[in-house]
Chain A
Amino acid sequence: MEKAAAEKAAPLELLGSWASSYTHRVQLALRLKGLEFEYAEEDLGSKSDALLRHNPVYKKVPVLVLPDGRALAESAVILHYLDDAFPAARQLLPADPFDRAVARFWCHFSDDKLGPAVGAVFASTGEEQEAAVRQVHENLALLEAELREGAFKGRRFFGGDEVGFLDVVLGCGSYWLAVFEEVTGVQLVDAEAFPLFHAWLRDFEAQEEVRETIPSVDRLLDYARGLRQMLLAMAGGAGAAAPADAPTAALPAPATADIAVDI
């Protein structure tokens, strides 16, 4: 088919950052759909001309560059686009309009509530951190309730039997929970308090395409430790402990808004 040949000739290009959960969303979506793509790692401390040209509004990753040179930014927008543009490939959003609305609602929740709360835990200490932890627990409790008796009752994944849109959105970011727990010493996802969420995350992380996408725990820990030091230093935090194994790899400049240290 001509279209398939055209797609093979000039594949999709993804501009991303290896530690960005938003980038991972798109990588995972592309892999789940079996769509070929080229990946270009962005140095967020020194952004490429291509990134600035393709995403002048936010100057952030991920950016999806299409074969004809047009580009799209914002991970949720890109995920919707991939469903729309490749109807023959595996669809991530559910088919039913009400189910789609539910998935979109919780995607907003992840980006507007849960993500920032987790980020706040990571960027703070003492009482401020305690308040942020309570917020995370409240948010996780809402998701746990939906898994237990609400919209996602009885499902292995948010998408049903298979990973779908909301799994990609929540999952690419939830791996930070265990990492942040280790780095801050704070408990975020207790298997006893959130058994269904915990089980879902374990099943999600075991998926082949997910394992191909999410960086190793060691790399994430390294990165998180360095970032935590930097954030606390910026905040003048007294509680920042200097880790014995400070990362030797160069970290991006402290443009924390770009570093997707959020769910």
Chain B
Amino acid sequence: MSEPVVVVGGWASPFVTRVCIALKLKGVEYEFLQEAVGRKSELLLRSNPVHKKMPVLLHGGRPVCESLVILQYVDEVFPGSSILPADPYHRAVHRFWAEYADAKLHTALRTMRGMVGGDKADAAEQVSAALRQLEDALAECSGGKPYFGGDDFGFLDIVVGSYIGWFGAAEKIAGLRVLDEASTPRLAAWAARFCAHEAVRDLMPDADRLVEFGEVLRAALAANASCRP
């Protein structure tokens, strides 16, 4: 496939990070269009009219939306190492936990960061509980190997791993631990391993940068709101 690949998104979004990791893993070259903070581009609005959200993958100009949908599309379209496992049952298990991770982690992390209202301690407990579940899932899926995907990382590693930067940022903002060696030792070790991987290293946002980014985003959104008639 020699058609151009474009990712419309932002470096701070875990949903965007996971798409970039997948493309890097497949060795696919792409153009990254960084959205301006607090403002949505015409391209984004046109490419994802239903949700108006990032990421959008444009392949030969055709838009694919929703990060989990994009990951599977990338896996199916581009050759190279498979992102989803080969075995049907394991594929299903990866899909199950990917949906679980997004359902349990995203909003709770945003609450911890103060991006949405809600009790931060409750949110932290929700994240911790989800991570304890994922700790067990990791043991089961990996069968003692380094990743959810086995010897090398796969779909579920990418999905959960895309949140790692945000775990750090949320912990700093809320002053509460969620990912630590004491309660989830396997996951903590896996997280370090994942971030050190050469396909992830340059793409995983730094926790301090994310904390800063959160403040910039809040300010930009407030400014937009005050400008509206």
Taking Cβ atoms with an 8 Å cutoff, the residues of A that contact B are 57, 66, 70, 72-74, 76-78, 80-81, 84-85, 97-98, 100-101, 104-105, 108-109, 142
Contact = CB atoms under 8 A, between A and B. Distances in A.
B89 A74 contact: no
Interface of A is mostly: helix
B88 interface: yes
B89 A81 contact: yes
Given A57-B133, A84-B88, A98-B64, A142 B50 contact: yes
Interface of B is mostly: helix
Given A66-B89, A104-B72, A108-B69, A97 B96 contact: no
B62 interface: yes
16 contacts: A72-B92, A72-B96, A73-B96, A77-B92, A77-B99, A81-B89, A84-B88, A84-B91, A84-B92, A85-B89, A98-B59, A100-B72, A100-B76, A101-B73, A108-B66, A109-B50
Given A74-B99, A85-B89, A101-B72, 12 more contacts: A66-B89, A76-B95, A77-B92, A80-B91, A80-B92, A81-B88, A81-B89, A97-B73, A98-B77, A104-B72, A105-B66, A105-B69
The 6 closest A-B pairs by CB, nearest first: A84-B88, A85-B88, A97-B76, A81-B92, A101-B73, A104-B69
Nearest to A82: B88
B89 A70 contact: yes
Which has the most chain A C-beta neighbours within 10 Å: B65, B72, B88? B88
Contacts of B62: 98
A35 B25 CA distance: 36
A72 B89 contact: yes
A70 B88 CA distance: 12
By size class, the interface of chain B is 20 to 34
Nearest to B60: A98
A74 B66 CA distance: 18
Nearest to B69: A104
B92 A104 contact: no
Nearest to A106: B50
B22 interface: no
Which has the most chain A C-beta neighbours within 10 Å: B72, B76, B96, B133? B96
A57 B103 CA distance: 12
Nearest to B137: A57
Interface in B64-96: 64-66, 68-70, 72-73, 76-77, 88-89, 91-93, 95-96
Nearest to A74: B96
Which has the most chain B C-beta neighbours within 10 Å: A78, A101, A105? A101
Contacts of A84: 88, 91-92
B32 interface: no
Interface in B117-169: 133
Contact of A101 (B50, B69, B89): B69
A73 B93 CA distance: 9
B100 interface: yes
Contacts of B89: 66, 70, 72, 81, 85
Contacts of A73: 96
Contact of B64 (A70, A72, A101): A101
A76 B93 CA distance: 12
Interface string B32-74: 0000000000000000001000000001001011101110110
Given A72-B89, A100-B73, A57 B64 contact: no
Nearest to A73: B96
